Amino acid sequence: MKQTILCLLALCMILSAAAAELKVDLGHGVAIYDTETLLKRHDLRTINVPGDVAFGRMMHYRAVPLLALLKGITSSDHLQFVGSDGFAAEIPAALLLNQYGSEAWLAIEDPARPWPSLSKDHGHAGPFYVVWTQPQAAHVGPEQWPYQLATIRKLDSVAERFPAILPDPSLPASSDVRHGFIVFQHTCFACHTLNGEGDAKLGPDLNIPLNPTEYLRADLLRAYIRNPQSLRQWPQAKMQGFDNQALSDADLDAVLAYLRHMAGRKAPASVAH
Q: What one-character DSSP code corresponds to residue 57?
A: S
Walk across the sheet containing 45-49 and list its strands. 45-49, 59-65, 103-108, 128-133
The answer to whether 81 and 141 are in contact (CB under 8 A) is no
The answer to whether 194 and 211 are in contact (CB under 8 A) is no
> What percentage of the chain reaches a pLDDT higher than 70?
88
207-219 pLDDT tens trace: 999 999 999 999 9
Q: What is the average per-residue pLDDT within 167-185? A: 95
Secondary-structure class of domain 159-272 per CATH: mainly alpha
Task: Give the pLDDT of residue 9.
Answer: 45
> Is 126 a residue whose pLDDT tops 70?
yes
221-273 pLDDT tens trace: 999 999 887 777 666 666 777 888 888 999 999 999 999 999 999 987 544 44
Q: What is the average per-residue pLDDT within 194-202? A: 91
CATH 1.10.760.10 intervals, the chain:
159-272
Task: Give the pLDDT of residue 246.
Answer: 82
87-122 pLDDT tens trace: 999 999 999 999 999 999 999 999 999 999 987 656
pLDDT interval class at 220 (50, 70, 90): very high
The answer to whether 143 and 190 are in contact (CB under 8 A) is yes
77-96 pLDDT tens trace: 999 999 998 899 999 999 99
CATH code at 19-155:
3.90.420.10
Q: Is the pTM of this model over 0.85?
A: no
Task: Give the pLDDT of residue 6.
Answer: 44
Distance (Å) of CA 126 to CA 18, 78, 150, 256: 11, 24, 10, 33
CATH 3.90.420.10 intervals, the chain:
19-155
50-85 pLDDT tens trace: 999 999 899 999 999 999 999 999 999 999 999 998
